[in-house]
Structure 1
Amino acid sequence: MMRGNWRPSRMDTLLALAVVVAGQVESFGRQGFEPGQISRPVPLAVGAAAAGALLLFRQRFPMSMLLALVGVGIGVREVTEAGYYAAWHFYSTLILVHTVASAAELRTRRGLAGLGCVLLAYGYLQTFQHNDVAEVLISAIFVGVAYASGILLRRQIDQTLRLARQATRLEVEREERARQAVAGERVRIARELHDIVSHNVSLMTLHTGGVRMMLRDDPDRERERTLLTGVERAGREAIEELRLMLGMLRSPGGTAAEPHATGLDRLDALVAQIHEAGPAVEVRVEGEARPVPPGLDLSAYRVIQEALTNALKHARATRIVVTVAYSAGAVTVEVTDDGTGDGQGGGSGQGLIGMRERVAMHGGDLSAGPVRGGGYRVRARFPSG
C-alpha cells in the first residue's frame, strides 16, 4: 500500500476509540484522594487520548508506537507524581505487543528489534514500587500471551497467503495444460485433415490427367485438353502448398497416415481391441448408415475411441454401449458405460478437451457427464447434410 493512501483500518479506529472512552471513564470515575483513587484525573485523561491516537498507527509503525506508549506512561507518571498505574495503558500495551509480534518473523532483525521493544515495555511495568511477585507474574502472562498470539496470527496469515499463491499457480498451470491440450489436438486434427485433403486432391488430379490422356487423339478436344491441363497444374500446386504449409505439423520422421484408415467403418476393430481388455462392448447402429465426409467420419471415430479409452482406464467399466445414430441432418455417436467415472477421476481432462475441439470443428455439440443410477455417458452430435 502506498504511503500517501494509507488509512487506519476500522479495527484500529474501534480499538483507539475503546481505549480513549475507557480512559476517560477510569480517569474521572475514580477521582478522589483515597488510596487507589486518582487525585489529578486530567493528565491521565490526556494520556488515554494520546494512547488512542497511537493505536491508530499501530499497523504502520508498531515498534515506534509501543515505545511512544511507554513514553506517554512515563510522562503521565511524572506529571501526576503518583504511583497509580492506569488500566488503559496496560490494555494499549497488550494491543501493541500483539501488533509488534505479528509484524515480523522473530528470526529477522526487525523481529529481534520488536522483541527488544516488548521487553522494554514489560520492564516499564515493573517500575511501579507496589508491584508484588503475583503482579509481576500476572503481567508477564498477559504480555506473553499477547506476544504469542501475534506470532500465531502472523503465521496464519503467511500460510493463507502461501495457499492463495499456490491455488493461483495451480489454476494458471491447469489453464496452461488446457491450452496445450487444445493446441495439441488442433495440430493432430490439422495433420489428419492434411492427409485427407492431400489424398483427395491427388485423386482429382490423377483422374483429370487420365481424362486428358483419353482425349489426346481427338483434334476436336483441344480446348478441353487445355482446360484439363490447367486443372492438373492447379491440383499439383495445391498439393505442393499443402505440403509446405501443413507438412511441418508432422512429427519428425513421421510418415503420412493412410487416408481413410480410420473411420466409423473401422469401429468393429476398435471395439474388438477394447473387448480384449476386459469390458463387454455392444455396438448399436440406428437409422440407415450412409457415407459421411472424411473429416467428420474421422472425428466421430476419434470421439468414440477417446470415450472408450476413458471408460477402460478411469471408470473401470464392465459393460459399454456404443451407439451410432444416422438421421436426416446429423450423425450422433454415444458411448455409455457402467463404470465409476464421474468426471473427477484420475484423468487430466485433456481427452474431453480434445473431443470438444473435434466436435466444435464441425459445428456440433458434445455433452459428457454421469448417468442417473451409475455410469457415464459421452454424446457427440455432428451436423451432416
Structure 2
Amino acid sequence: MCSVPGPGAYGEVVSVGGDQAWWRRYPRVVDVAVVLVALFLTLGMMRFAGRPPTRRVLGPVDYGYAAAACAVLLVRRRWPVGVLVVTVLLAVAHGAMREHGPQFLPGQVALYTIAVARGGRAGLVAGAVLLAAAGTTQMVVAPEELSLGAVALVTSTGLAVAAGTGVRTQRAYVATLEERAVRAERARREEAARLVGEERVRIARELHDVVAHQLTLINAQAGVALYLHEGGQGEPAGLVETLSHVKDDSKQALAELRSIVGLLGTPDVPREPVPGLDRLDDLAASFARAGLTVEVRRRGEARAVPSAVDVSGYRIVQEALTNVSKHAATGTARVCLDYAHDTLKIVIADDGAGRGPGGGSGRGLIGMRERAAAVGGEVTAGHRPGGGFLVEAALPLGDQ
C-alpha cells in the first residue's frame, strides 16, 4: 500500500539566479554611481582630449555641460530616448562653444540604456543618430581631429550598443528560466495535489470496505445473540460463542483500521499485510459466523496475480458478500474465481428474493467499479433472470 506523498516527495524548485543581486535591489544607488563615474570620465576626456593629448584648463562652460549631461542620466531608465536626445543636443551645443571636438560619453550611456530597454535594432538606429550628430559637429568644430575621433567614437558607440543588447538578452534568458521554474513548481504542486486526492479516495474506499464488512457481520452476530437471549433458547455456551465472534470481528476491524490510518503519517502504528484472494476462505468463514454460507470455487490454474489485482479482487468479493448479507435476504452465496490466460474473472451470485432490511446508497457498487477500473478491469452487476443478484468482475492479469 502506498503512502500519501509528503511535501518534499517531488523536490523543490531551485531559484535560477539565487538571491537578487544588490544592483537590482537598489537601482537608484546604481544610477547615482553611473552619474558620478560618467562625470569623472567626461571631465577627464575633455581635459586631455586632442592630438597630441595636452592638459587643458576647463572653464565654467565645460563643467556646466558635464554636470548637466550627466545629471540627466538619473532618469535614463524612465525616458531613455529623451535622455539620449538631451545629451546629444547638449554635446553639440558644448562643442560649438569650445575649440575642440565635443564629448559624447553621456549620450553613449543613454544609448546603452536604449539597447537594454528597446533591443538591438533600436540601439543601432539611436547609435546611427548619435554618430551622425557627432560627425557633423566634429567636422564643423575640429576637422583636424576627425580621423582619430571618428575611430574612437564609432568603437565606443558600437560597444555601448553591443553591451546593452547583451544585457537585454541575458535578462530575457534569466526571465525565461524563472518562468519555467515557476511553471515546473506549479505543475509539481498540481501533481502532488492530484496524487493526494487519489490517495484520499483510495483510503476512503478502504475504510468503507472494512467498516461496511465488519459492521455487517457484527450486526448480524449481535442479532443472533439477542434472538437467543430473548427466546430463552440459549444456553450460555451458545451466547458466549456468538459474543466471542463479535469480539473477534471487531478486533479484526480495528486492526485493519489502524493499518489504514497508519498510512496517514503515524510511523509507530503497526501495518498488517493487505488481504488478498488467498484469504477468501477466511472471509467466507467470517460470513458463515454471521449466518451466510459462502461457497468458494476456483477454475483454471490458480497462480500469483499482480498485487493491485489481488487487493482489488478481494475487496470486490468482500463488498459483494456484504451486500448479499445486508440486502439479499438469503443464507447462501457463491463465489467463483476463473483464471484465464490473461484475465481473472470473479463471479459472486446469490438466490435472494430481494432487498433485505438494510438500506443502501449504492456506494458499494460504485466502489467495486472504481476498484476494477483502477487496475484496468470492469465490473457488471444486476438481477439474475431466475432470481437473485449477480456481480461479475474481469480483472487483467498482464503478461504471465
TM-score in terms of structure 2 length: 0.47
- Which of the pair has more CA radius of gyration? 2
TM-score in terms of structure 1 length: 0.49
